[in-house]
Structure 1
Amino acid sequence: MSNERDRPFSVEAATYVAFSRYWEASSRISPVGKPRLQQRVLDYFRWLCRRIQPAVVLEIGAHEASFSRWASKALPRARVEAFEANPHVHAKYVREVTRAGVAYLNLAVAPMTGEIELNLPLEISGQPRALDSRMASIAVHRETGDSVTVTVPSVRLDDHVTLAEGERVVAWIDVEGANDAVLRSGPQVLDRLDAVHIEVEGEPTWEGQWLDTDVAHHLAGHGLVPVARDLQKPYQYNVVYVRSRLVRQPKVMRKAAEILLPD
């Protein structure tokens, strides 16, 4: 099998890699440590959300829905919806998330509305995983041992999210190798998206997954550009994208640059 990194690079992919590697190199020489960097990127995204004041907040791959719980308090005028496909996770957290004012939905976001197979790994890289771990996905992990497959309800974003004229959206996406399924399910929603915090991989971890450059290329087609990223695991990290018009706002970019400054 050929290495994905051997494929020809488009200009869009090369531009994204330049952004990503610049941020990674700057992060490694910054006095801000990795945990603090992750928190600062999160804080920056929350700041963006408060600045945007969206009508709709989506958390896809929510698990315990911590971002949605924050949004429900910080953005009281927004409709906050958290999607969690794993029925074991959903059953564990549904009461407390619902009490927090969040619509906590036992749905997989996918290219079709109906049903889809969800993989619940019992072992990854020799390490046992519980049925309610974060690693459930419609994709298959490359180092999965034993696993359980369940059929769960699925929905396209564009079939589910109804937006009035002028309403804007922010989203948090953490879907374990299934970014392609999520992003392809909602072109109309993506066109109304002002900011997104999304977990990506720079090397393949899941079978057939989109890499960070694939995600960047797709989001660029909807007018979204990367402005900040963190350091997480090797080849796995979070990126903040914003609507291109927001890049012209000096404060938006100044706040991004401040992520790497010492306290």
Structure 2
Amino acid sequence: MVVDAQAVVLDLQLRGQAARFSTALDGRHRSAQALDDFFHEVVETLAPDLFLEVGAFEATASRRVRAAVPACRVVAFEASPVNYEHHRARTDFDAAGIEYLHSAVSDHTGVTTLLLNLEHAGDEPAPVGWTSMLRHRGFEHVRPVEVASTTLDDFVADAADRVALWIDVEGAAGLVLDGAARTLSRVDVLKVEVEDVPSWEGQTLSLDITARLLHAGLYAVARDVEYSGQHNVVFLSERALRDHHVRRHLDLHLYDVAHRFAREPHPVRRSERLRALARPVRRVARRARPGTHG
């Protein structure tokens, strides 16, 4: 695939962002949390008609959007039957105003095969976040299951003019985008998990995802460093970028990336031996705080 030069420039700019993050201690987690916060600030500002969480697991993002944008229709897709039943039994999604659907989102509507990755042969599948429509090179044991599938184009149709989208599908983002050509023209903000390393068979890597979304009118503006080889990127439409409130959120996020999240912790904090010695003291201090139990 020949990649547009502008997509290469965007990818290089994102790598420059990533280089600023300190990954010491919980730096990777903090980078992911900061990107989530930025995404949700933009969603709240734009107040879309429809929010779609693809690969929802417990639908954390959907719950946050529901609380922030009451008029928005919120739909969460979870393909794994194990995950779906586990979380459906623990949360009243209907009462929460979230359409929690047992369905894969892919390049076709009908039925697709989902691979439940197992640690050991004979294991029963557990509710975990690493199921995928693609085979992971690191898992020897899988259990294939047939599940209902839809494309975003078929699901959305003419249901909304302005869409916010969250994709977390363990290597299969390319399949989701294959079925979303019309929908992407309505998306103003998108967060997607991408990979630099080909861990799944047939996956689309981060540079190609950036190129495809650029072709659809979505610009990569921010990323995290959640894992080595796998990270999340936020894309914005031209409509969103012309909103001065959105630009302000972006400026503040990039300032934090350049300053707040770039700081390396003091060498004392990075000493595993000293941190181990300090843990009992911190536990006692936490118990002593008012309102703290256990």
Normalising by structure 1, report the TM-score.
0.89
Partner of 2:149: 154
Structure 2 residues not aligned, in runs of 5+: 262-294
User: 8 Å contact 2:78–2:102 — kept in the other structure?
Assistant: yes
Deviation of residue 49 (structure 1)? 0.3
Asked whether 1:198 is paired with 2:195, we answer no
User: 8 Å contact 1:121–1:129 — kept in the other structure?
Assistant: no
Structure 1 residues not aligned, in runs of 5+: 1-6
Cα displacement string for residues 120-153 of structure 1 (whole angstroms, at most 9, x for unaligned residues): 01029x9x89432111111110111111000000
Higher gyration radius (CA) = 2
Q: Which of residues 235, 253, 257 is equivalent to 2:254?
A: 257
The answer to which of 93-102 and 46-55 deviates more is 93-102
Partner of 1:121: 117
Cα displacement string for residues 193-214 of structure 1 (whole angstroms, at most 9, x for unaligned residues): 0001111101111111000001
Deviation of residue 17 (structure 1)? 2.7
Partner of 2:268: none
SS in 2 for 1:176: coil
Partner of 1:138: 133
Deviation of residue 189 (structure 1)? 0.9
What is the aligned-residue identity percentage?
34
Whole-Å Cα distance in 2 between the matches of residues 164 and 82 of structure 1? 15
Asked whether 1:104 is paired with 2:85, we answer no
Deviation of residue 157 (structure 1)? 0.8
Cα displacement string for residues 19-63 of structure 1 (whole angstroms, at most 9, x for unaligned residues): 121011122399993322221111111100011100000000000
Q: Which amino acid aligns with 1:98?
A: D
Q: Which amino acid aligns with 2:253?
A: A
Partner of 1:53: 47
Whole-Å Cα distance in 1 between the matches of residues 72 and 107 of structure 2? 25
Whole-Å Cα distance in 2 between the matches of residues 79 and 30 of structure 1? 39
Deviation of residue 98 (structure 1)? 3.1
Deviation of residue 241 (structure 1)? 0.6
Partner of 2:86: 92
User: 8 Å contact 1:227–1:256 — kept in the other structure?
Assistant: no
Cα 1:259–1:217 shift into 2, 3 Å:
same
Cα 1:9–1:156 shift into 2, 3 Å:
closer
Whole-Å Cα distance in 2 between the matches of residues 178 and 245 of structure 1? 27
Whole-Å Cα distance in 1 between the matches of residues 26 and 228 of structure 2? 18
Whole-Å Cα distance in 1 between the matches of residues 139 and 38 of structure 2? 34
Cα displacement string for residues 88-121 of structure 1 (whole angstroms, at most 9, x for unaligned residues): 1111112413332110000000111100111001
Partner of 1:4: none
The answer to which of 115-124 and 189-198 deviates more is 115-124
User: 8 Å contact 2:41–2:249 — kept in the other structure?
Assistant: no
Whole-Å Cα distance in 2 between the matches of residues 94 and 224 of structure 1? 33
Deviation of residue 8 (structure 1)? 7.0
Cα 1:227–1:116 shift into 2, 3 Å:
same
Cα 1:208–1:12 shift into 2, 3 Å:
farther
Asked whether 1:207 is paired with 2:205, we answer no
Normalising by structure 2, report the TM-score.
0.80
Q: Which of residues 16, 20, 26 is equivalent to 1:26?
A: 20
User: 8 Å contact 1:194–1:242 — kept in the other structure?
Assistant: yes
Q: Which of residues 58, 61, 64 is equivalent to 1:67?
A: 61
Deviation of residue 255 (structure 1)? 2.6
Whole-Å Cα distance in 2 between the matches of residues 258 and 32 of structure 1? 19
Whole-Å Cα distance in 1 between the matches of residues 135 and 94 of structure 2? 30
The answer to which of 236-245 and 187-196 deviates more is 236-245
Cα 1:232–1:150 shift into 2, 3 Å:
same
Whole-Å Cα distance in 1 between the matches of residues 20 and 63 of structure 2? 32
Whole-Å Cα distance in 1 between the matches of residues 27 and 103 of structure 2? 36
Partner of 2:267: none
